[in-house]
Structure 1
Amino acid sequence: MIAMLKEIILDFQDVELETGVPRRVKVTPVAGKATVCIGVRRCGKSTFMFQFIKRLLESGVPKQNILYLNFFDDRLHGLQHYGLGAVLEAYFSLYPAKKNTEKVYCFFDEIQVVNGWESFVDRLMRMEKCEVFITGSSAQMLSREIATQMRGRALSWEMFPFSFREFLDSKGIDGSGPFSTKQRLMVQKAFEEYWDSGGFPEVVGLARSLRIMIHQEYFNAVLFRDLVERHDISHPRAVADLAHRLVDNTSSLYSVNSLTGYLKSLGHNAPKSAVSDYLEWFEDAYFLFTVRIFDCSLARTNANPKKIYCVDHSLVSSVSSGILVNSGHLLENLVFTALRRVTPDIFYFKSKGGREVDFIAQFQGRRLLVQVCESLSDRQTRGREVSALSDAMTELSLSSGIIVTRNEEERIQLESGSIDVVPVWRFLLNLQEQESGE
């Protein structure tokens, strides 16, 4: 095992790094703490690590001081038997003079697949002269283990597939605005491509058939590696059927009872408790997200139906049957993922009169009301969407709201305040500017 580890360490030090598009994720390493990046698989976490490594090399850090391991590498499967201590033994047998004299930068991809990783990293932080960077595709496992085992010696950041601004970066288009007519047209054209391809870096620019194949590969990898294998699920077919049901109902309400009944109708003997676990594990893998109703009563929040969203709207198109998902659902899902990059505190709102607003998001000490509607050209639709927002603004004592559309833009003045109608491409760019303080 030691010989294999040495070979892997040396091979990486000789490879030319693929650093891709710089990500707009503000990750700030802090001395004495491990830097942890969590997100759905294939969203670009490893490439983000390589960007860090490249900056270190450019700043003068010798490549021999970089230790990188990807624990999804099949050759490292034996570490479960040998223990992670073999990693240090292999590295310092290559470079014995560096032990306790030079800083070693340790980059560990998907380390959570190896049992006991928490105490190993904790020991690195305490006993060795190391700076540690970790990625993982499990929010619950990493956050729980960091909190209980690493005793405050880690800081975590989330990563998602490309935002629209990052997608523009990948195309070499400046999305900062204000825009000339030509620039605006370029941004709008790029948005149509983003609408088709979604944000997973690997599928950008690929033909539709290839994109669908890769998205479906991601879907199956999440199901079987992040759920079935990780949680030792004895009925994987039930998990797959539930995932397909949820993706088919993206942006729609669900209840655990209805999902349990659906699985029962397919012949699965999955109790409500198992369905609840599956839902939690989907979110843990940053794949499917649950949004609850906004209510000061936790009991009412838990009792009401919840809404489901996917990490990427285009993945939904590639995986769903297409029977229940329409472009309005995909638009709402896209708005959700944009909000989720900014904050996890997202709810839907129902007024006292029963009118629903798609999102109320809480971040930077304020509340943002967002309604999603493809078009307000129909008078009845316009009245319904505006009335729902107006009710929510009044009940929550807010003076503004937003309606996100595909292409329309205006300001609506009401007694309760103002509603900005904005095209989705502009909403995505404005939201990221607000979050980053640009």
Structure 2
Amino acid sequence: MEIRRDLYLNKLIKRKNNGLIKVVTGIRRCGKSYLLNNLFYNHLIESGVAADHIIRFAFDSADDLYLIGESLIQIEKEKRGVDPEKFMAYIRSQIVDNRMYYLLLDEIQLLDCFETVLNGYLRKDNMDVFVTGSNAKLLSKDIITQFAGRGDEVHMYPLSFAEFMTIYKGDKYAGLEEYMLYGGIPIVVLREDANEKASTLENLFTEIYLRDITQRNRVKNIGELEDLLNILSSSIGSLTNPEKLKNTFKSVKKSKITSQTIKKYIDYFEDSFLIESALRYDIKGKSYIETPKKYYFSDLGLRNARINFRQFEPTHSMENVIYNELKMRGYNVDVGVIATTEKNHEGKVVRKQLEVDFVCNLGSSRYYIQSAYSLPDETKRTQEIRPFRKIDDSFKKIVITKDFVHPYYDDYGILTVNIYDFLLDPEIIHR
């Protein structure tokens, strides 16, 4: 069964022949290889490109490595990258005329000196290069540094809820429950049985993500790293920082782990695209607050598998889903903070910080969004929109709820939509 990824496919199509190296990044198993080698490849064929002018090569494929005289097993034993000279010689042998060739290169970070190799291809007028990679440090940062603005990144996420629903056999209400439980990793979504979904997620975590992180970064104390991952999994959407986490380790685990080590481990998780951090933004002061931050998982199924599906909190899960959806749509997403003063029940003036779940920016557009799992009465609604009432600019303010409501604006101009409409209709917040 084919899952369409039109959002990302269209991004690649628009970037054809733009003179840049197109880099598709994202967490392992989110569908990058399928996007490049199936969906985009088929597009090229359908648009008239000859098959012998499309060169596909996967650096984690034993068969492809054999073509250039390399051995996947030998590379693994020697803990090295693929020989760039052998790869470039193979590419030269495939280019026999001056017509345009499309290079679709999978897991490029496994090639030694890949920046230099790709820089060389930038100078070829008849080469259009598309690559995938799974590590932010090896790709995103180096693309900017080494290619001097000639790298064009397309970041890919696991399935959105709308993509998920294109193959889900039930209605959107049951669909969202399953999506928040098992996530959107394609190989998991395609499993029929709940036990198979759970075991696949658990295996992915152990055999792919944790192994990648520990081997790539030469982590010695794997137990501490896993403990930190468990803590972050149990507290998605909660404000925290390395110092606070260090104190948790000290009191609960009797561990002497330092805040510097914790920060380093968090960087590893972010570099592998397993989690993302949201900075706090002072809305009135128009400045960022570096710490504490909130952390969200790029896939909720992986988060739930990490804690053995024991701790399912629909409020935090919905918040994580909204965060991911906003990131997929291209927004920069922060956590809003509004400092205010008011009198308490004793009449004393006290300072408080009110929180806006998400401050979303895209170009000149900005949206303030609150995630409210349920709005059972006016008291709860008043509580949710209270931070909005303290914001004195004119940007749109939106409440997203799981309650089934038709979109409406209240007397303050605040839009309320239900989570299903928000996830399935990207234009609903613009109306």
Tell whether the structures are fold-level matches, with TM greater than 0.5: yes
Letter in 2 for 1:433: E
The aligned runs of 1:37-116 (5 Å cut-off) are 37-49=24-36, 50-73=38-61, 75-76=71-72, 80=80, 83-93=83-93, 95=94, 98-99=95-96, 101-116=98-113
1:151 corresponds to 2:148: yes
Q: Is there any run of 5+ residues in structure 2 with no aligned partner, and where?
A: 63-70, 341-352
| Residue number among 389, 400, 410 corresponding to 1:404 in the alignment | 400
Secondary structure at 1:370 match in 2: strand
| Residue number among 162, 167, 172 corresponding to 1:170 in the alignment | 167
Contact 2:81 2:112 in 1 (8 A): no
Partner of 1:429: 424
- Shift in CA distance, 118/104, structure 1 to aligned 2, threshold 3 Å: same
Partner of 1:255: 241
Letter in 1 for 2:217: H
Q: Distance in 2 between matches of 1:76 and 1:99?
A: 28
Partner of 2:232: 246
Partner of 1:4: none
Partner of 1:374: 373
Q: Distance in 1 between matches of 2:82 and 2:137?
A: 26
Contact 1:248 1:325 in 2 (8 A): no
Letter in 1 for 2:249: L
Letter in 1 for 2:290: N
The aligned runs of 1:169-208 (5 Å cut-off) are 169-171=166-168, 186-188=171-173, 190-205=175-190, 206-208=192-194
Q: Distance in 2 between matches of 1:419 and 1:434?
A: 13
Letter in 1 for 2:189: V
Secondary structure at 2:203 match in 1: helix
Instruction: Tell me the TM-score normalised to structure 2 length.
Output: 0.83
Deviates more, 1:339-348 or 1:163-172: 163-172
Q: Residue 132 of structure 1: CA displacement?
A: 1.1
Report the number of matched residues.
398
Q: Distance in 2 between matches of 1:274 and 1:89?
A: 42
1:21 corresponds to 2:4: yes
Letter in 2 for 1:67: I
Deviates more, 1:40-49 or 1:267-276: 267-276
Q: Is there any run of 5+ residues in structure 1 with no aligned partner, and where?
A: 1-17, 173-184
Letter in 2 for 1:229: Q
Q: Residue 39 of structure 1: CA displacement?
A: 0.7
Contact 1:20 1:47 in 2 (8 A): no
- Shift in CA distance, 213/82, structure 1 to aligned 2, threshold 3 Å: closer
- Shift in CA distance, 302/111, structure 1 to aligned 2, threshold 3 Å: same
Letter in 2 for 1:111: I
Partner of 1:120: 117
Contact 1:223 1:239 in 2 (8 A): no
Q: Distance in 2 between matches of 1:31 and 1:293?
A: 36
Q: Residue 212 of structure 1: CA displacement?
A: 1.2
Contact 1:248 1:323 in 2 (8 A): no
Q: Distance in 2 between matches of 1:198 and 1:301?
A: 30
Q: Distance in 2 between matches of 1:240 and 1:298?
A: 36
Q: Distance in 1 between matches of 2:288 and 2:119?
A: 40
